[in-house]
Amino acid sequence: MLAHDHKEKRRSIVRSLWGGEARAIAIAFLMALILRGLPELRAPAYPVGYDVPLYAVEALHLLDEDPLYMLSCPPLVFAILWLLYIPGPDVLIVLKIFTPVLYGLLAVSFYIFLRKYLRLDVEKSLFCTILCMFQPTVLRISWDLLKMEFGLTGLFLLLAYFEDLRRSRKWPLATALMLIVVLSHQLPAVLMFMFLAYEWWRVRTLREALGLLALALPATCIFILQLLIFIGAIQTAPPVRFRDVIWLRSSHGGMPVIGVPFPRNYFLENPFRSASWADIALYVPLTFVALFALLLPIFPASLNAPSAA
């Protein structure tokens, strides 16, 4: 009887989890995966994204570069693509699968950040995640800024679980997330150190401050090394020059190589290409309105929202 009750309790827990948290995470992941996967399906024979071919080249020639030079790049996404390429698939096929999956992981990490760090409920967290993933600015990051995207994924997870990890025996996971951020992209790394500086200022005891410094020490050392390489204080071998040619169909009038009107870079066309300074001064704020159009309907409601204080 006790065993049966225990089994029923476990089943009820699983059902409750799937009914709320797990379902929301699955929706966030699949929504972002499908959204980023659509352009990949529309252009099956070509790399999607302006800089994506560079990721393919760097992944193929990862071991040919000076390790210190690659450390300053940073190299984590290149290394992941290289590992995925080892079993034998074409590196462009790997990228076509990797980029939608990475966007799905970014959506999941942002959802967890909203749930754990900002403490929003499941419905609000899922709504904000979907709203964020449809923003053109975030879609632009997913287009070919894969290193920044991976770094932001690690940063959101670090912010979400930082308090729980640093006060438990799982503190190495916090250090690992810091290393992921630093080895992914410099901008998320700078944001991470701003957060760590705030946490260091917020702690009240010397023991907690020293513990926080110990957690961040490996990532801090790598970031300082990257900075020294960047400013030239540490000299590295010059980057190896490759000539990998990817033949694409010619593009005319700003149209993409597959000859369909989506997606296209409007900044390379009129009015931006041949506009006056006065026109640009008008078009830029209009572009800003277009980027945040999805947020405009809920802006009046936010003014009437009760204060958190």
- Residue 6: inside a domain: no
The model's pLDDT over 195-215, given as tens digits with 9 standing for 90+, comes to 999 988 887 778 888 888 889
- Residue 301: inside a domain: no
- Residue 267: inside a domain: no
- Residue 296: inside a domain: no
Residue 261, pLDDT > 50, answer: no
Between residues 155 and 258, which one has the greater pLDDT? Answer: 155
- Residue 44: inside a domain: yes
- Residue 279: inside a domain: no
The model's pLDDT over 150-204, given as tens digits with 9 standing for 90+, comes to 999 999 999 999 988 888 888 899 999 999 999 999 999 999 999 999 988 887 7
The model's pLDDT over 56-100, given as tens digits with 9 standing for 90+, comes to 888 888 888 888 888 888 999 999 999 988 887 777 888 889 999
Between residues 24 and 57, which one has the greater pLDDT? Answer: 24
Domain assignment of residue 171, given as a range: 17-246
Residue 125, pLDDT > 60, answer: yes
pTM, two decimal places: 0.75
Enumerate residues 6+ apart whose C-beta is below 8 A from 196.
Answer: 212, 216
Chain mean pLDDT for the chain: 80
Number of domains in the chain: 1
- Residue 294: inside a domain: no
Q: Nearest to residue 151, comparing CAs of 201, 106, 118, 101?
A: 106
The model's pLDDT over 237-254, given as tens digits with 9 standing for 90+, comes to 877 665 555 554 444 344
Q: For residue 260, what pLDDT is reported? A: 43
- Residue 251: inside a domain: no
- The length of the chain in residues reads 309
d(CA 259, CA 250): 9
